[in-house]
A and B are shown apart, each in its own frame.
Chain A
């Protein structure tokens, strides 16, 4: 089927400003809408011990105003122009993006350039955003049932501090931070030569180039950030931990495996192995546990893509009174079956169709395209990978999936986190 079906390539144009800012265009006039994404090459992986949580703190600081944009003005400007926007932080990068009617491209570039050039890193902004992050941590992590389990399992999987610590970071570290520390972090990591600017959608390339030169061209570049070592030994840091979650209504568990970096053949094969196990109502584990045995309330799994060693997870919240070890046995039996026999022909067909379908759907919106392209530009130095990634995934064979499952999943080298509700009920 892949022979009869070729996805037309996205048009990609890339260049670099003299200050080192990498720019990628994906012109597509189908709808008069334009998306702008700015990806900074800084995530929690860049934080050293004693200074965790900075990358995420910055995501907050970036909405606190800059030389010509008042506090919280970013949102108001975008909204009044009929647009949408957001920003997020991961281990790998911090991103900011907006989608606007095509003729509002200058507004987006003005807003993004003003904060890249002149973010208001003041004591007042630092103080109140530090408090805001603490509130966010309490709400989203500490006070949510199961809210901390992914941070905990990363500590169990990774040995290298760059990989193992959480994105939200330590509140003590944030408290210790001075305005000078934060200004220094901004200078190093929010430099034009440490970022990628992506435009996708309806725009005239020459007009866009001129605007980008005007707004970004004279933002000074900075010495490159320090070299980073994210290497890991193959074994996980810790194979078992029991953890009492004061808010958990039911026991649950999470299993995590350490796997090769994103875009390696092994990672691709494991991504597909994961889909076969947990993705959708006809997946193996859904049929076995949610339908067949009706023993779990919720089943989930996903891969965490990183430039360095990555990970894959399977977790479940069983129904009360169910035996967790039996459920884990079912999961390990399915993994063993996949490692022995590989996916069935039907499963390969489903994977192929879902990959095609997902890949095409992700091309529909300019925002989704801008984000994919920015990632390849930032992580791989090559935005045109967006046009090859699907073929790479489709070329993975059942045998490769079997071998990857055998080597990386069907093993005792994994982290098991048992989550137990408070003892007194």
Chain B
């Protein structure tokens, strides 16, 4: 009997509702909205003072101003130096920090209930009386400029930069990082003025979650923030994102790149859009996780990549949808084909009832796990209030997810995934990528990594050489961070198809579907690691009995160069 019982997974027990009570809401005379969520569970308090302005509100020619002003809040105030502020905070066992995003600027603090009054005082000091000391600004400027340089070496950044430009056009959501020239001319006066005009109480929400007494804390808030003067907040009008009517291809050329970073994207919708719930369920089926369709197809079945996903970004004023993967250069075109197959399939066919149920179970299941800690719960409350979601949003989340039907999923897939007007962005070796990807788009542009546009014609392959002979046993040396690691590659060739074995110190990988095109060898050796297939992608150039190229594995960040010869 028991052995029978053990054969299949047990049925769940009756679902337990996750009831989140509603908070207390009040508004100070100066317009500061105060939301207090009393939770006596543990003697902790979390504070968030959030402003409904973010990086998109940077003045023209001053990109990075909001982020700089925000980072500098804790680097010196009228009463305390940067170090004093850090010491006072740590001595209370507390934390205090500030951060800006596209739409919002959030100052965060947390502490034991015992010190909530002191910590709120430190937070008020940082928010209301920052002095932006010159020496700290200098350090910030140097660090930021270093970081701007560094990020251009990251293919993910380059892909995101182009994708945002193509989807958002002249809308400031297109700007994913500040311009170096704007950072260089950052000065104290600008920060002071910008702080005075944007940090105003009538544009802010103070959220308090945890073990507080409402009356006491409201009194303290009144003392600290009551004299803060309201000011007119100018409403900024932003240019509309462009209307796209055809499928375009943008390549960022990284010569020698063994991988292609693919982003396929189109404009989406703002966070408060009524299709939000059907969209997140649809996305869970399509590509949000490791059991979603694009992952199962591109990774599990085809082995093109270590991971393939789709993502929906809901912002305050707009949003975007994207499908992404880092794939081996040789299968860039095949990966695009599979992505478009999945994008069309979810538009044209109903999702299965089981798939739908798994997606909903995941979304409703992780929701309470996210709310277990005060930080997690606070983040849910912050999002609810900043995006202006309904008062019962947290209470009805589960019902909204559960209500999504097969028809809803198909409808929102049809409305919001638009394969005929997507932008395809690929960061990779343009010469290799272009012939594979060009058939998938009606226009092509190519940039270098510094963002300069290039002449497409110069990437068209002119050689049409005879297929090289690659059969035999090759001894290759891989350069791994200065160490030479020997591997051996045994290949059999049939026309342009190649099979064989890659033997490495990390284990052996089988090659089942390699190819030779001219003098170029592309092959993937699949080994197993912790029960998961791991792909080593080989991209080589053969010249007689010698070969050079790169080996890429998802477990090492950069392609590893190799050279070697045929035995």
Nearest residue in A to B39 (C-beta to C-beta)? A30
CA distance A76 to B9 in the complex (A): 12
Interface status of A395 (Cβ within 8 A of chain B) = no
Closest chain-A Cβ to B536's Cβ sits at a distance in Å of 11
Closest to B13 in A: A103
Tell me if B555 counts as interface (CB < 8 A to partner A): yes
With known contacts A81-B12, A350-B90, A350-B93, A68–B480 Cβ distance under 8 A? no
- How far is it, in angstroms, between the C-alpha of A366 and the C-alpha of B41 when the chains are bound? 13
With an 8 A cutoff between CB atoms, is A102 at the interface?
yes
Using Cβ atoms and an 8 Å threshold, which residues of chain B touch A109? Answer: 10
Chain B residues whose CB sits within 8 angstroms of the CB of A72 once the complex forms: 531-532
Q: Which residue of B lies closest to A283 (CB)?
A: B90
Distance between Cα atoms of A31 and B42 in the complex (Å): 13
Among A80, A214, A346, which residue has the most Cβ atoms of chain B within 10 A? A80
**Given A67-B6, A357-B111, A132 contacting B528 (CB threshold 8 A):** yes
- Is the CB–CB distance between B373 and A364 below 8 Å? yes
> How many Å from the CB of B71 to the closest CB on chain A?
16
> Size band of the B side of the interface?
35 or more
Q: Interface digits, A69-95 against B, CB 8 Å rule (1 contact, 0 not)?
A: 001100011011111100000000000
Evaluate contact between B530 and A132: CB separation under 8 angstroms.
yes
| Interface members, chain A 333-354 (any B CB < 8 Å) | 346, 349-350, 352-354
In the bound complex, what is the Cα–Cα distance between A138 and B534 (angstroms)?
15
* CB-CB under 8 A for A105 and B13, given A33-B369, A114-B6, A364-B372: yes
> B13 to A84, Cβ gap below 8 A?
no
Give the CA-CA distance A7 to B114 in the complex, in Å. Answer: 12
- B530: chain A residues at CB < 8 Å are 60, 63, 129, 132, 136
A32-B368 contact in complex given A81-B361, A110-B9, A129-B530, C-beta closer than 8 Å? yes
Residues of A near B83 (CB, < 8 A) are: 291
- A139 touching B555 in the complex, CB below 8 Å, given contacts A282-B91, A365-B373: yes
Taking CB atoms, residues of chain A closer than 8 Å to B372 are 31, 33, 364-366
- Interface residue ranges of A214-262 to B (CB < 8 Å): 214-215, 218, 246-247
Q: Which residues of B contact A33 (CB under 8 A)?
A: 368-369, 372
Q: In angstroms, how far is the closest chain B Cβ from the Cβ of A229?
A: 33
CA distance A346 to B87 in the complex (A): 10
- B441 contacts A by Cβ under 8 Å: no
Interface string of B70-97 (1 = CB under 8 A from A): 0000000000000100110011111000
Chain B nearest Cβ from A209, distance in angstroms: 14
Closest Cβ–Cβ distance, residue A217 to chain B (whole Å): 8
Partner of A353, one of B91, B483, B532: B91
B369 A99 Cβ-Cβ under 8 A: yes
Whether a CB of chain B sits under 8 angstroms from the CB of A107 is yes
User: Which of A71, A81, A105, A365 is most buried by chain B, counting CB atoms within 10 A of its CB?
Assistant: A81
> Is A143 an interface position by the 8 A CB rule?
yes
Please name all residues of chain B whose beta carbon is closer than 8 Å to the beta carbon of A139 when the two chains form the complex.
Answer: 555
| A354 touching B362, Cβ below 8 Å | no
Contact of A5 among B86, B114, B505 (CB under 8 A): B114
| Those of A411-425 within 8 Å (CB) of chain B | 422
Across the interface, which residues of B come within 8 angstroms of A68, CB to CB?
Answer: 6-8
Least Cβ distance of A76 to chain B in Å?
A: 6
The answer on a CB contact under 8 Å between A32 and B43 is: no
Question: Which A residues, 130 to 164, have Cβ-Cβ distances below 8 Å to chain B?
Answer: 131-132, 134-136, 138-139, 143
The number of A-B residue pairs with CB atoms under 8 Å apart is 172
Contact between A132 and B529 (Cβ–Cβ < 8 Å)? yes
Q: Is the CB of A360 within 8 A of B358?
A: no
Hey, which chain A residues are within 8 Å of B44, CB to CB?
A: 357, 360-361, 364
Known: A31-B18, A33-B369, A83-B369. A282 touches B6 (CB 8 A): no
Q: How far is the CA of A355 from the CA of B369 in the complex (A)?
A: 25
Q: Quote the shortest CB–CB distance from A173 to chain B (angstroms).
A: 18
Let me know if B93 and A357 touch, CB within 8 A: yes
Residue from B11, B368, B527 with most neighbouring chain A CB atoms (10 Å): B368
Q: Chain A's nearest CB lies how many Å from the CB of B164?
A: 30
Which residues of chain A from 107 to 141 have any CB-CB distance to chain B below 8 Å in the complex? 107, 109-111, 113-114, 128-129, 131-132, 134-136, 138-139
In contact, A346 and B91 (Cβ under 8 angstroms): yes
Contact A135 B507 (CB under 8 A): yes
Q: How far is the CA of A38 from the CA of B114 in the complex (A)?
A: 35
- In angstroms, Cα B209 to Cα A332, docked, is 43
Contact residues in B for A99 (Cβ distance below 8 Å): 369
In the bound complex, what is the Cα–Cα distance between A350 and B366 (angstroms)?
A: 35
Which A residues lie within 8 Å of B555 (CB)?
135, 139
CB atoms of A128 and B531 under 8 A apart? yes
- B216 at interface, CB cutoff 8 A: no
A88 to chain B, nearest CB (A): 14
Other-chain residue from A7, A101, A107, A361 in contact with B368 (beta carbon distance below 8 A): A101
Further 16 A-B residue pairs, CB within 8 A, beyond A63-B530, A82-B366, A350-B93: A30-B41, A31-B372, A33-B368, A60-B531, A77-B9, A81-B12, A81-B361, A82-B367, A83-B369, A84-B366, A135-B507, A135-B534, A202-B16, A246-B483, A356-B112, A361-B44
Return 24 A-B CB contacts under 8 Å, by A number: A1-B114, A30-B41, A31-B372, A32-B17, A63-B530, A80-B361, A82-B364, A82-B366, A84-B366, A99-B369, A101-B15, A101-B368, A102-B13, A103-B14, A135-B506, A135-B507, A135-B534, A136-B529, A136-B530, A282-B90, A350-B90, A350-B93, A353-B112, A364-B44
| Nearest 4 CB-CB pairings of A with B | A82-B365, A353-B93, A357-B93, A106-B10
